[in-house]
């Protein structure tokens, strides 16, 4: 069974540009989460989808970030326009109902560098 995949693995963009990160969860996982770690900080929650619906987006830092999950399969996270402080590693995780409650499967992350 394939794990959570993320694309790209690394992205370098200039301040003001737009970047779109993609996450493919494990097949059949209704829950999809986005997290990020910015330099020197802890991993922080961004938002949670249940299928195609946003269950919790309390962690989204501002309106420059837009997450979508059309059809309840893969998800994208767009940053527009990117700022220097957006640099960090963006993780996606998925889980399904019936698992141990806090067992989320994480992808390898996308390292975003804004110059």
Contacting residues toward other proteins, per CB under 8 A = 4, 31, 33, 35, 42-45, 48, 50, 55-56, 59, 91, 93, 95, 97, 100-109
Residue 102 is classified by DSSP as: T
Question: 3-class DSSP state for residue 55?
Answer: strand
Nearer CB in complex with other proteins: 72/81 = 72
Least separation, in Å, of the C-beta of 16 and other proteins?
28
Place of tokens 């499967």: 105
Q: Name which of 56 and 83 has its Cβ closer to other proteins.
A: 56
By CB neighbour count within 10 A (0-12 exposed, 13-18 middle, 19+ buried), where does 94 fall?
buried
Q: Residue 66 CB, nearest distance to other proteins (Å)?
A: 18
Looking at the Cβ atoms of 33 and 65, the one nearer to other proteins is: 33
* Cβ count within 10 A of residue 97: 9
């Amino acid at each position: 069974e394939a794990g959570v995949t993320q694309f790209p693995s690394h992205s370098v963009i200039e301040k003001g540009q737009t970047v779109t990160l993609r996450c493919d969860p494990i097949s059949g996982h209704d829950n999809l989460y986005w997290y990020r770690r910015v330099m020197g900080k802890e991993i922080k929650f961004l938002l949670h989808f249940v299928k195609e619906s946003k269950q919790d987006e309390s962690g989204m830092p501002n309106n420059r970030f837009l997450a979508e999950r059309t059809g309840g399969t893969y998800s994208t996270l767009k940053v527009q326009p990117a700022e220097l402080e957006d640099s960090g590693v963006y993780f996606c995780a998925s889980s399904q109902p019936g698992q141990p409650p806090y067992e989320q499967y994480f992808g390898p992350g996308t390292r975003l560098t804004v110059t």
